[in-house]
Amino acid sequence: MFYREAGDFKTSYREDNQTFPIKFDRYRYYSVMFAAFAVVPFLINDYWVNAIFLPFLIYSIAAIGLNILTGYCGQVSLGTGGFMAVGAYGCYKLMTAFPEVSILIHVILAGGVTGMVCVLFGLPSLRIKGFYLAVATLAAQFFLVWLFNRVPWFYNYSASGQINAPERTIFGIAVTGPNTQAWATYLFCLVIVTVCALVARNLTRGMQGRQWMAIRDMDIAAEIIGVNPLKAKISAFAVSGFFVGIAGALLFAVYLGAAEAGDSFGITKSFLVLFMIIIGGLGSIFGSFAGAAFLVLLPVFLKNVLVGWLGWPTDMAAHLEFIIVGALIVIFLIAEPHGLAQLWRVAKEKLRLWPFPH
């Protein structure tokens, strides 16, 4: 009965257009943010951070970036793993070349570099779309992985071919390297995720977001009413690349600590992020978080239940995970193309009317 709009009056256009029009939603959002910043850091340990929280936060940024490109602008991309590799290797080169600069600046600059590379590979979208654009971005995935494996300059001529994150600190607290603490890496990623989500939410709700959605729905009609297809598509690739590059930089520097392009940023990474936005919901910032949470928690849940409780072999549990994810993708594409975000939206609409049927 408390999930109601009755008595929640709007007295300005700003209040009428806010992200959470219902007061209960705003309180819930503030409560979640307070718990994430002020409660969780005191309760987590290394296992919770490395198994759940860091992958969830980092993949959420990557899913937001791909959702802007595919969900909002309608440009299919299968090169997310390669673009994450650009962010990772860009961050590594900056960390080794300018050790006195803050790691936060390195992560942001790595996102900028990835945005420029993404724009370069996004230029074919002005002429091709659909399956052909997907193949073009897939070619970018393989080319970038090959480039980082074959050119020794990118990994500083290391004999192993890997890149290793040196230790860097923020306010004297290590956030990269072997001496990091769980709460420090968690808070570092959480701050970046929060800022990225706010920026993405405001972009998609503004004029730029409406241009992206007009191109997605019908690019010819969008051009007729005055939307510049060149500007809209290139800006979508740039913003998407920026977020994906930040995710790649964090995945390498904060989470993995060491990476190799073929193993850490292969084609499976691209499909993983794509599955996140399909299951979570295309064209939804909340769907990016929901899909990332689902695909991060699912392997942990299956491992604990099937291997820990039932005593199944690890490889059988891994194969069952593939079956479940594949089945869910088919089900969501057929039954609910807008994913978990739409289910959550429908549930909230029913709560607003409950106990009345209409």
Q: What is the pLDDT of residues 215-271, one digit of tens each?
A: 999 888 999 999 998 899 999 999 999 999 999 999 999 999 899 988 899 999 999
Rounded CA separation 214/217 (Å): 5
The confidence score (pLDDT) of residue 351 equals 77
Residue-level pLDDT at 131? 83
Q: What is the pLDDT, as a whole number, of residue 24?
A: 77
Give the per-residue pLDDT at 145: 94
Are the C-beta atoms of 114 and 245 separated by less than 8 Å? yes
Structure-block tokens of residue 171:
């306010």
**How much is the average pLDDT of 318-322?**
85
| Average pLDDT score over residue span 125-145 | 88
The label of the residue with tokens 């690890």 reads: 314
Across residues 2-12, what is the average pLDDT? Answer: 70
Residue 5 has what pLDDT? 66
Inter-residue contact 81 to 270 (CB < 8 Å): yes
pLDDT category at 94 given cuts 50, 70, 90 is very high
Please, which pLDDT band fits residue 142 given cuts at 50, 70 and 90? very high
How many other C-beta atoms can be found within 10 angstroms of the C-beta atom of residue 46? 11
- Whether pLDDT at 1 is above 60: no
Q: Against a cut of 0.75, is the pTM above it? A: yes
> Is residue 163 within 8 Å of 88, Cβ to Cβ?
yes
Token digits of residue 202: 């405001």
